Each structure stands twice: as structure tokens, then as C-alpha cells.
Structure 1
């Protein structure tokens, strides 16, 4: 049984809030809330820190979004108590994203209440649309070692802060203890419990483990061996856990492909072990950890693009695809004139690819389209007013259009152009394009350049408020382009939940290929994505 990771994730719809790790916006009554709310960890949230070396906050976020795709989580560090009106500047930038945020002030001043008013204002103004993993004085160990304060003082400061922030009764504020990865190592002589304020004061335990944090590494250590101590300590705590910082510099002589393999293996390990979040240290501080080479960037993009969702494995069973463990969804193949899909035998590394019918200008045109439908009355494939993403990796044949019934290459689509709601990613004329139509209007974005034939290209569309962003990445050479359009869209809601989501062509409402113009994809396709962003 061969598998293809299919991002036809149903995002964080209300029925799946727990699975996605999001938090409700309604506040409990003060006598019912917990100062350290329980965090329900779903699929791993993946992102980066935001470094001042990349410019202002908005510039750093835009650069990282462009490089890795829209980040579902970001790491924000304040060297002292956050400045006044910090969220006034950050809320719109971070809209719908989880945040790992931390600040530092001496424990004695925290316990004395010196910053109580400023901190209450900071957390009172924090957004409520996504998880906020907040931390006090991350990596305290070296400061304890040099005598700046004791573990007892550190723990007391934590308890003071959690009790203070707990008075706001905000269920999306998760106190998160962040320690160095070295502390989990037996050789460190430390015990992570010395820094732990107690189960009632911590929602999530997080770590900063590196593949050599203080020097240029000589090798890429196998992730299960490198990260085993922090996983073991995390499981001892019984708390959800995350990685607030991780990274590696390039091993001398590596052009990035070795690091890319390490990143991919690390992603698989953290996914398997159930990390709540992982944010990469995208910085040149204390060494050049930045991911800038094409291979490393692509490896992290791959993980970011599928993170934060309830993922679905598309399994090839006998002669057709299937969606195991996907309640509420069903997949099939809609065909005309003996059209069929099959595994692409040429793809032997990475995700399995699906091969669609070849182009022909004959009188009989074989056509086949993947058809994904709701099986119940709840429409899991309607984004409504939420931000969402869709697209796939594709490789077009040398000949892919030119007849009246096969004159386009659709990637992902739901609804038709005449419908009041529709979204589509296409490659008509070899030019990627995105369309989103809601109850307030339609926005179309088209690339200026054509994609290469018989090359793997990632085409992703992102609806973000009234903006529609098209990202095109040549996976063979790592080149990337982004295009943006804007205008009123409104809610993308469908009248009938049985309207299918199609992959590789165009389907009518009844689920059959549109005979007059199927817009059949002629080539191969991998990693199809439909993702409703959590918290949006």
C-alpha cells in the first residue's frame, strides 16, 4: 500500500477545533477558568522565529511567508516587558496564526509586581483567534548558573505571572516553559523539574534543541537520537510539548541538500512524536542558522505547507485512491470514455504521484478526475469567510491542451464559473492562476510567466481576507514567484454539500466530468491541498 500525503484537511471548522488545537473565543466564567488552560495538541504547527536581521516585524513576516509559505505559527521574542500597544501593531500581522511569545525581566522585580499593570494590559489586548504560547524568561539555565537568580526565585516569578494572567480568564493563553535542549541531556547534570513551576502553572513544556548550538557542526545527527532526551523529558511531564527553537548550520562542504534531508527527517520525527509546534531559528545570531539555500528552503516549505491541519492520507488501494480515517469525506474517480488515473511509476522518491490521462485530439477523449465529496449534511469543504489555501504539485506533459474538450489543466476546483461560490487553481495555457468567488465578489490572480513542461511545479492559492495570493515554485531549481490580487470576496459557501471538490479536472454538481470541457490535467499530480486556516 503506497501513500500520498493529501492536504484535503478540513481545517479548524467548529467540529474539529480540538483536533486542530485551536481555542474557543468565548471566555469561561472567572470561577471556572484555569490560569494554565489545557492545550489539546492536534497536528504539529510549523513556523519560524521572526528575526530583526530581516527588517521590521512586518518585513520579517512577509519575507518568511514568501520563502516558506504562510506560517501557521511564529516565534516572537521581547528582550524586556513587551512595549505599550504591542498587539496594536502585531494583531493584524499575526491574524489567525498561533504565536510563541516570550519576555524577560528579573524574577525579583516580577514577584514585587513591578510590571503587573503593563503585563495585564499586554495580555488583555492579545488576540483571541488562535493559540498564544507565552513564556517568561526562556532558557533561564545559564542565568541560574552564573548566579543572576536561583531556581526558587525563577519558579516564584512564574507562579506570580500565571496567577496574574489567569485573572483575565483567557482560554487561548497557554503558559509555556521553554528550556534549552541541553538541560534534558544527562551530561548536563541538570534536572528540568528544578525550573518547573508545577502542573497547575504550565500548559505546555517547550525546548530549544540544536544540531550544535554553539559551533559549526561536523555532521547532521540522526534526529531520533538528537531529540530523544527532550521527548523523554516531555513525556515525563505529561504535558503537551513543543520546540520553540531548533536549527543547524551547514556542515562544511554541504550545499544544503544534506541539511534538507536532516530537516525532512526531523519533521517526520516530530510529527510522529506528536509535537504541538516547531519553530525554526531563522537567524544569523550566534552562527548562520538561516535557511536560504534552495534545498533547505524547500524542505521547510514542504513541512509548513502541510502543518496545522488534520491531514488525510490518500491511500492507493487496489486500482483506485481511498481516504482512510476521514470521517465525513469520500473519494472516487469520475471518468469518461475509459479514462483512468494510476500511480506514476516514474516517481520513486517523496510522495507518490497520480498520473492523469494523456492529451489527445482524437474524437474519443479519455478523461478522469479525482472526486472528493461530503458524505453527510455538514459541508467540510466550504471555507465560508475563513482564510483558506488550495493547490498541488504538478508536472505537465509536453502536450497538455488544444482540443475543444481538453483545452485547460485544472488542478483543484469546487463549483463552476456560473455558480455563486467557486474556487479554482488552474494551469490553462501553462500559466498558473487562482480564482475565488464568494457572495461579495470574485478575485482572479494569474502568473505572468508560463511554467516549464515536464518539471515539477508547486501551485498554491491563498485567500487571506480580501487578498488572493498565488505562489508558484519550481521544485526542480527552487525558484519562486508570488502574485497578489485583491477585492471583495465575502463568504465562499455552497448551497449543496454534495457539490464535489475536484482534483485534476472539472466536475459538474452531480459529480460527473463536464463533458463539453473537462479541463483535464494532462500530466502528474502530488500533494493536493485544501486547507482552511485555523482561527481565521
Structure 2
């Protein structure tokens, strides 16, 4: 969720602490005894050897449950073996109620539980937006996987409401200026949580150059530095997702931002069918909106790393309401022809501008999304701890 929202469709991406100690103490007390979920497997996550959770028991709202077993069980880096994860980004409610309530209401609408919940945070160290693993996330993570996007910015509004932010600068992150007060405390929270989480540092990174974050070389250094801090602190339950907008006018830029195979577990892309939104006029069905970037990632970044549609959705066609339904219903058939896609995360929030409703909260879009989500390809065994 960069400054524009972060909706990287096929168009040039635009430019769009006091409670920390108490929070750490509370979480540490809450999560005492939490064990690390270990799904064995070799370094690339392709093996099938698994180990059950260990420890002296789990606190009441910790993630729980034995790791899945069998031929469809996910690998060490959370790759589902018989299909793809079905996920979503669900925004905080405007009325101030909890994210837990919003997610459960969303699941009731779509007729199924999400495999994967995508949330966003800045580096403010504030109680909710700047805290990795809020109480809501811990609760929701009991029977869902979490995808945490961490932005090297400080948001100017709660929950990034207006998509405005203050960049901290990649060179400053790489130099260790935020280690002691920001990075290390949040890394310890992740370690205490124990369950594996997907993690993305500055998603849609190619859109952030114009926002003043720095150069590609500085991003790579910052990314590697954050990963090195996590490793130094013993954080082993993070699955690293490198996420770009996927706008192919940025091909050279995206390639220069890649941290390297040794630092990345999954590739992420954020492609949309904007149609009337952002001054576009071309309706792109699901295949046309996703395949070009998918093919480019396979050819130019990695031929075998799993790919996540880290954000995707479509606006409606005001002249043909059923078009949005059909856009979603074609997903199960089409995604199987792009077998590297192992997770799909629908962006369920409007973005600034006319004709920019990307939600599936009602109408034909909801009908199509519900139907797609019932497909067996998206019914994979979700890990507990």
C-alpha cells in the first residue's frame, strides 16, 4: 500500500513510541511458551519431513494446531502442494471496530474462511499501525496465515487513510539508524509469535523511487540489512516475499530492485483491471491483467520461485454489471494455466478516483468471487502453528 494506494495496475505507478515498551511486555507475557511451527523440508522448501509443535503449551489466543500432513501439506516456505491459497486484504472498519470483526464479516459475505490475511504496517512504532502482530492479527492468525507488509515510512493518517506518508529513506535503514528502536523490537515480536508468516518489505517497491525512498541499490541494501537483523535475532519464522507493482513499463527498474535469490522466498505482483479507474479505458479480463507480468517474472527474475498475486481485483463495468462477476469466475480455470501462482490476495478496498471500486462486498462482483472461492483448487490444508 504505497502512497497511491498501491494499486499497481498496467499503468505507470504514481507517487502515490511511548507505548512500545508496554506493548512488548504485554505480548511477551501473552506469548510465553509459544513454540515455533516447523514444517521440515529442505532449504528450498520442497521436502515433506515435518515436526510437530514443541513446548510447554500455548496461550489461549496463540495459533494452534498440528502442521498439516499428507501430499497436499504446505512446504517450509508455505507453498501449497495441490493448489493455491485464497486470501484478501480487508481494511479496518471506518466505525473504529476491530479488524477481527471486519474479517469475519467479510468471510461471511464471501462464503468461506480466508487462507491468508494481508495486513499493512509502517515504521512508526504506534500501537496498531506500527506494531507487527497486533492483538487482532494474533487472534486471526490462529486459523489463518498472515501476510505482513512493512513500509519504511511513517503514515500521516491512521490506517494510511489518505495514502500520505513520510519516507524514512532506504540508505538510513541500511545504515542501521532504525535497528534499536524499530527493527529489532518488531523482529522480537515476530520471533515470539512463532508461527510462520509471509513478510514483504516495501511492497510495490518500484513505485517508491519517485516517492523519495532512494535508489535501487539502496533498497537492496536496506532489504538485506533488515533480513540480516532478523537472522541475528533468531527470527526463523518469516517467509520473505519480494513484491513489485508488476507494471511492465518498469521492467528494468524492477529487475534492478531484486535483492537476489538467496534473500527471496516468493515473488509478489500487484496487477489490476482498472478499466474506468486511473484514466484507463481497456477492459482486461483476469488472464490479460495477470499473465504478462507472470510471464516476465518467470523469464527475468526466477523460473521456479512461487508467485503471489499479492494484490489483485477489478473495477465494475458500469455498462455491463455482469462483467465483474465473469472476471472472477474465470479465475480457477485461468490460474491453473499459470502454475507458478500459489497464492491470490484480493484487494478489498476502493482507491482514490472515480470508478475505482475494487471491492467484492455486493452485487455481481461478490457473486463471482464467491463462486471462484468455492473451487477445490483453493481448498488447501492451512497450517496451524
Aligned with 1:248 (options 314, 328, 342): 314
Cα separation, 2, equivalents of 1:230 and 1:152: 23
Contact 1:78 1:103 in 2 (8 A): yes
| 1:280 alignment counterpart | 346
| 2:145 alignment counterpart | 98
Matched, 1:290 2:359: yes
| 2:26 alignment counterpart | none
Shift of 1:122: 2.4
Cα separation, 1, equivalents of 2:174 and 2:296: 28
- Equivalent residue runs for 1:10-159 within 5 Å: 14-16=68-70, 19-21=72-74, 23=76, 38-42=77-81, 43-53=83-93, 55=96, 56-68=98-110, 69-81=112-124, 83=126, 86-89=132-135, 90-105=137-152, 106-117=169-180, 118-126=182-190, 127-129=193-195, 131-145=196-210, 147-159=212-224
Cα separation, 2, equivalents of 1:205 and 1:533: 20
Number of matched residues? 285
Contact 1:243 1:279 in 2 (8 A): yes
Contact 2:285 2:327 in 1 (8 A): yes
Using structure 2 for the length normalisation, give the TM-score: 0.66
After superposition, give the CA deviation of every residue in 1:397-436 in whole Å (9 maximum; x if it has no partner): xxxxxxxxxxxxxxxxxxxxxxxxxxxxxxxxxxxxxxxx
Shift of 1:202: 0.8
After superposition, give the CA deviation of every residue in 1:70-109 in whole Å (9 maximum; x if it has no partner): 1111110113355456425121122121222112122123
> What do you get for the CA RMSD once the two structures are aligned?
2.8
Cα separation, 1, equivalents of 2:176 and 2:105: 38
Partner of 1:92: helix, strand, or coil? helix
Unpaired runs of at least 5, structure 2: 1-64, 153-168
Cα separation, 2, equivalents of 1:163 and 1:108: 15
Unpaired runs of at least 5, structure 1: 1-10, 24-37, 311-531
The structure with the largest helix share of the pair is 2
Contact 1:178 1:206 in 2 (8 A): yes
Shift of 1:20: 3.5
Using structure 1 for the length normalisation, give the TM-score: 0.49
Distance 1:124 1:204, change over 3 A: same
Partner of 1:210: helix, strand, or coil? strand
Shift of 1:57: 1.6
Cα separation, 1, equivalents of 2:149 and 2:226: 12
After superposition, give the CA deviation of every residue in 1:340-381 in whole Å (9 maximum; x if it has no partner): xxxxxxxxxxxxxxxxxxxxxxxxxxxxxxxxxxxxxxxxxx
Q: Which has the higher contact order (CA 8 A, sep 6+)?
A: 2
Cα separation, 1, equivalents of 2:150 and 2:67: 32
| 1:303 alignment counterpart | 372
Partner of 1:205: helix, strand, or coil? strand
Partner of 1:247: helix, strand, or coil? strand
Aligned with 2:240 (options 162, 171, 175): 175
Cα separation, 2, equivalents of 1:95 and 1:13: 12
Distance 1:44 1:107, change over 3 A: same
| 2:43 alignment counterpart | none
